[in-house]
Amino acid sequence: MKVRFADRQLERCFLDGGLANRTWGESVGQRFVQRVKVLQASSKFEDLFEARTLRLHPLTGNRSGQWALKLIGRWRLIFRLSEDRQTITLAEVSNYYGN
């Protein structure tokens, strides 16, 4: 799949694992880079549902139209999926449930 980044900071964190570690902590930073590589390696969106450890799910409410997958603990990678289901745009890394 094609993966795009909503902002330059997310892209820099992917390209520089050290920056990802400094931004979110080592465990979240490493998992972020790993998950983006998994997304890039997938041939189609539906394949991601087979990897149960991703815990891929659609979001609801004011985040309707977005998707999330688990990084570690309460941390999630939030993204949007293109209409043709071929491009993922990463929106944010979030401690989705707060502290």
pLDDT tens digits for range 29-82: 999 999 999 999 999 999 999 988 999 999 999 999 999 999 999 999 999 999
pLDDT given for residue 38 in this prediction: 96
- Residue 58 maps to which CATH number? 3.30.2310.20
| Residue 14, C-beta contacts closer than 8 angstroms, at least 6 positions apart | 5, 20, 32, 33, 36
**59: domain range?**
2-95
Q: How many domains does the chain have?
A: 1
Classify 6 as helix, strand or coil. Answer: coil
Residue by residue, DSSP assigns 9-59 as HHHHHHH-HHHHHHHH-HHHHHHHHHHHHHHHH-SSGGGGGG-GGG--EE-
